[in-house]
Structure 1
Amino acid sequence: MGELRRRPLIIATVVMFAAVFVVTGRIIGFGRALHLISGPGVGETWFDNPVYTVAESTVVLVLVFAHAWRTPVLVAVPSILALVLVAEHAAFYRPHISLSRADAVQLMLILFIIMAAGGLLLRMRERSRSALAAAAEERVRRDERLDMARELHDVVAHHVTGMLVQAQAALVVAAQDKDKACAMLPGIVEGGTDALGAMSAMVRTLRDNGAAGATTDLTADLHQLAERSGLPVRANVELTADVRPELGRSVLRLVQEALTNARKHAFDATSVEVDVRLTSDLVLLSVVDNGTVRPSHSGGFGLVGMRERVHELGGRFFAGPTGEGWLVTAELPLEVRA
């Protein structure tokens, strides 16, 4: 496509170069145009008309501007030099009514510089716009990758962690009580089924241009999440009004990840409290357990993902030990903040 755009400019440049030289020869004689002989011109022709001179100069200047703006440097430089050379030659040797030779040459040179500078300015502006567009596209791709990474961690890791915990428990009790170990297998199978379903949902989301399906009943989904977590959870959900879909989805993911972390790290917890409530302008959530206190940076991506998700929504996030367990809190605005 770029080559097709350049070709008319190159053809026009060659034609104009030849035309200016031929007209110069018609006005002052080809021998004089080629510096073979000296002396006055061959006589008046209609090419001496000032209207023609202005039109011819305008076309040359437009071609210089177009080359400086559009064509690659390796094409633009020789094309512009050729046009400047033949135009300055004509300005010097052709007779002028109101300008001396020096004035005509100087005027054309100034106009050439102005047109070339204008074309270069437009070229630089377009390159700047292209660079900004490329940077914006890269940011969008990066955000999409981060979102997919969070979804993989929040959704799939939640189910896989449950399967792993149950499988480890089954191994521990298998030596003493095989029946009890076998009784845990349906839970592992159910966790695998849920993980597969979550993966299928993510694939469908990606095929639908990333339009992630949000929860339709946040209160029910939160209670179901607590019941199926495998932890001694006491849930208190007070949502007196609907929240926007992406916010409800984030609340669900935050609670899910907090319960996953509790199941992985606070395996000795005897109490986990989930509290989600609505104020006039915020959704407040907290998940606290009384299990073993673990370091704030355990090497995983759970806390990082939760913090990123909250900050993207314009909220505040905290996770850390309480002295008797671990606390995760978040404040999420009901409306998007500019």
Structure 2
Amino acid sequence: MVAVFTATGLISGFTRAFLDDGPGVTPPLLLLTPVVRITEAGVVMALAFLLAWKAPPLRAAVGIAALAVVSLHAGVVRTHFYLDWVQTAELVLVLGLVTAGSGVLLRLRDRSRAELAAAAQDRARRDERLDMARELHDVVAHHVTGMLVQAQAAVVVAERDKSKACELLPGIVGGGTDALGAMRAMVRTLRDNGAATATGDLTADLRQLVEKSGLPVRTSIELAGDVRPELGRSVLRLVQEALTNVRKHAHGATEVEVDVRLTATAVLLSVVDDGRTGPVHAGGFGLVGMRERVDELGGRFFAGATGEGWLVTAELPLEVRS
């Protein structure tokens, strides 16, 4: 700041003190030429603009104040043919305010852009965390729930017949293996920045999911055409979570119907059971995650009791709605 102040002072007014022969003596004519005056005014304005734009606030304030002092000094003590010293001081102040104000506006613009970029990064990280949370709930919790149900059944059966309980152990081991495989697949997807697709053949994946559910499921799958990978993954996860909810909350369910069909504009799916539902159906994050998936794709979602069981339906458009 000392260097800036000194250099500016030499340009704007201190040269008079150094170069004058004595008090009241007119400075060299070179310093009075319009070219020199316009040049030094431009340099001062550029310095003030850069300080207001780029310098830290305290340094900018001190630097601009220094520039204002030396500029007012030069404007008052120099001889002018068209303006008196009051008009000169007013002109200096107006130009200074315009210049410094322009720098402040650019500083605010840069700060606003940085804040918007930071907010966008925060939203991206939040969306990633939500996506990971849904994947953990939909994929891993599905397998863990199956293991838990079978383990609970084994405990009950073991009181009467230990050999029957042992027959349930392979299913528990298989559930643990599937859970580990799902975790590894999700880690691979995250390492690939989500590039991996969840399903290549949606019909086959849905049938495999139903077979592994261990529920009395009756399926109707009509997918004559191809479905884009991200939409197919959402369909698979919605059906998976609906079956998980049936296994956890639909007490005494004897039949589950899974219907997935493709229309000209959307994929329609429904999962309905005839079990008794309790208040636990309102807890957890399963329904929240399903609704979020459908909302992100611009679709419609419903989940609720039917009087004879529980119904989950969704309409997922083939094209993302703007």
Normalised TM-score (structure 1): 0.91
Q: Is 1:17 equivalent to 2:9 in the alignment? A: yes
Residue 320 (structure 1) aligned with residue 304 (structure 2): yes
Report deviation, 1:155. 0.2
Question: Hey, what's the Cα distance between the residues in 2 that align with 1:131 and 1:76?
Answer: 21
The secondary structure found in structure 1 opposite 2:282 is: coil
- Alpha-carbon distance in 2 for matches of 1:12, 1:120: 19
Give the letter for the 1:124 counterpart: L
1:211 Cα offset (Å): 2.8
Q: How far apart, in 2, do the equivalents of 1:121 and 1:327 lie?
A: 57
Partner Cα distance (2:139, 2:6) in 1: 65
Instruction: Map residues 1-338 of structure 1 onto 2, 5 A cutoff.
Output: 11-26=3-18, 28=20, 32=23, 40-295=24-279, 297-338=281-322
Deviations 1:65-96 (A, max 9, x none): 11111111110011000011001101100112
Alpha carbons of structure 1 residues 237 and 214: separation in structure 2 relative to 1, 3 Å: same
C-alpha contact 2:300 2:315 (8 A) present in aligned 1: yes
Cα distance in 1 between the residues matched to 2:199 and 2:103:
54
SS of equivalent to 1:228: helix
Shift of the alpha carbon at 1:311? 0.5
Separation in structure 2 between the aligned mates of residue 24 and residue 187 of structure 1, nearest angstrom: 97
Distance 1:93 1:165, change over 3 A: same
Shift of 1:298: 2.7
Letter in 1 for 2:223: L
Q: Provide, for residues 273-314 of structure 1, a one-character-per-residue CA deviation record: whole Å limited to 9, x for no partner.
A: 000001110100000000112348532110010011110110
Q: Which deviates more from structure 2 when the two are superposed, residues 199-208 or residues 92-101?
A: 92-101
Q: Is the 8 A contact 2:251 2:277 kept in 1?
A: no
The superposition leaves residues 16-69 of structure 1 with CA deviations (integer Å, 9 ceiling, x where unpaired) of 23443432324656x75xxxxxxx324543111110011001000111111111
Q: Which runs of 4+ in 1 moved over 6 A?
A: none
Distance in 2 between residues matched to 1:220 and 1:24, nearest whole Å:
91
* TM-score scaled by length of structure 2: 0.95
1:179 is displaced (CA, Å) by 1.5
After superposition, give the CA deviation of every residue in 1:93-117 in whole Å (9 maximum; x if it has no partner).
0112332222222111110011011
Aligned residues: 322
Distance (whole Å) between structure 2 residues aligned to residue 307 and residue 244 of structure 1: 20
Deviations 1:153-176 (A, max 9, x none): 000000000000011111111122
Instruction: Decide whether aligned partners of structure 1 residues 89 and 159 sit closer, same or farther in structure 2, where only a CA change above 3 A counts.
Output: same
Q: % of aligned pairs identical?
A: 63
Whole-Å Cα distance in 2 between the matches of residues 43 and 290 of structure 1? 103
**Deviation of residue 329 (structure 1)?**
0.3
Q: Distance in 1 between matches of 2:173 and 2:6?
A: 77
CA contact (8 A) 1:27 1:42 kept: no
Q: Which amino acid aligns with 2:293?
A: R
Structure 2 residue runs of 5 or longer lacking an equivalent are none
Is the Cα contact below 8 Å between 2:303 and 2:311 reproduced in 1? yes
In 2: Cα distance, 1:251 partner to 1:15 partner: 70
* Distance in 1 between residues matched to 2:129 and 2:5, nearest whole Å: 48
SS at match of 2:88: helix
Q: What is the distance in 1 between the residues matched to 2:25 and 2:17?
A: 9
1:202 is matched by which residue type in structure 2? M
The gaps in structure 1 that reach 5 residues or longer are: 1-8, 33-39
Amino acid at match of 1:22: F
Q: CA RMSD in A?
A: 1.7
